[in-house]
């Protein structure tokens, strides 16, 4: 398994990310003014991202769709209250996270495991079959992590949020996020060799 990226409070983003953030901010400002076309653009831009995030959390497409609709309804209603203290994506993901927890608690399914692949981890080889095997092992390893640790990895490596942004989303101290990340990475390195033999880069 390739080495996981180093923890950092600042997510590394491509130069175009700043422009994307500004575009989302402008869309949200238009939404705050009741612009339905801007809301449609924001809806389309976030639906797929939220769907992947929420289906991994709930393991049910119907619930994920329900939470997406709830989340974006809150965005429509609360857009005038957004003051720019965080990125628009951080604000929206925070709403989605809280709506998901509320839904799962209502269904008495808070401990439902998460299923996702850690896309940003470099686990590619020159052999496609071997690469597929490594990703399958990673999925198995992630399945052994507590939900909070898995969610931190998802928000960091797939969605590209910094520790500070994840703390905002999950409503916990930054140090708690870093602790969860530390334990998640350590446990992955411990369990992966037992799942499929010694893997490249899977050092304790």
Q: Would the pTM count as exceeding 0.85?
A: no
Q: Using one digit for the tens of pLDDT, what is the confidence trace for 85-127?
A: 889 999 999 999 888 888 877 775 444 444 333 433 444 444 4
Q: Cβ contacts of residue 177 below 8 Å, gap of 6+? A: 152, 163, 166, 167, 170
pLDDT at site 116: 38
- Within the chain, which residues score under 70 in pLDDT? 1-15, 108-143, 158, 193-204
Q: Are 177 and 152 in contact (CB under 8 A)?
A: yes
Domains of the chain in sequence order:
16-106 (1.10.1740.10), 128-196 (1.10.10.10)
Handedness of CA 43, 47, 49, 54 (dihedral sign): positive
Based on DSSP, count helices (H) and strands (E) in the chain, helices before strands: 8, 0
């Amino acid at each position: 398994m390739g080495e996981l990226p180093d923890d950092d409070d600042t997510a590394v983003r491509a130069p175009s990310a700043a422009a994307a953030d500004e575009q989302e901010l402008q869309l949200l400002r238009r939404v705050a003014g009741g612009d339905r076309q801007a809301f449609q653009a924001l809806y389309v831009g976030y639906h797929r991202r939220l769907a992947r995030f929420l289906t991994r959390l709930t393991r049910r497409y119907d619930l994920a769709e329900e939470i997406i609709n709830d989340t974006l309804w809150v965005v429509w209603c609360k857009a005038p209250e957004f003051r720019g203290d965080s990125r628009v994506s951080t604000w929206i993901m925070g709403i989605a996270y809280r709506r998901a927890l509320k839904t799962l608690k209502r269904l008495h399914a808070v401990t439902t495991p998460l299923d996702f692949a850690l896309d940003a981890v470099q686990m590619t080889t020159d052999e496609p079959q071997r690469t597929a095997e490594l990703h399958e092992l990673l999925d198995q390893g992630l399945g052994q992590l507590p939900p909070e640790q898995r969610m931190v990895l998802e928000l960091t490596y797939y969605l590209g949020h910094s520790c500070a942004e994840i703390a905002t989303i999950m409503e916990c101290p930054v140090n708690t996020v870093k602790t969860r990340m530390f334990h998640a990475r350590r446990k992955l390195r411990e369990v992966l060799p037992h799942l499929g033999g010694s893997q490249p880069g899977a050092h304790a």
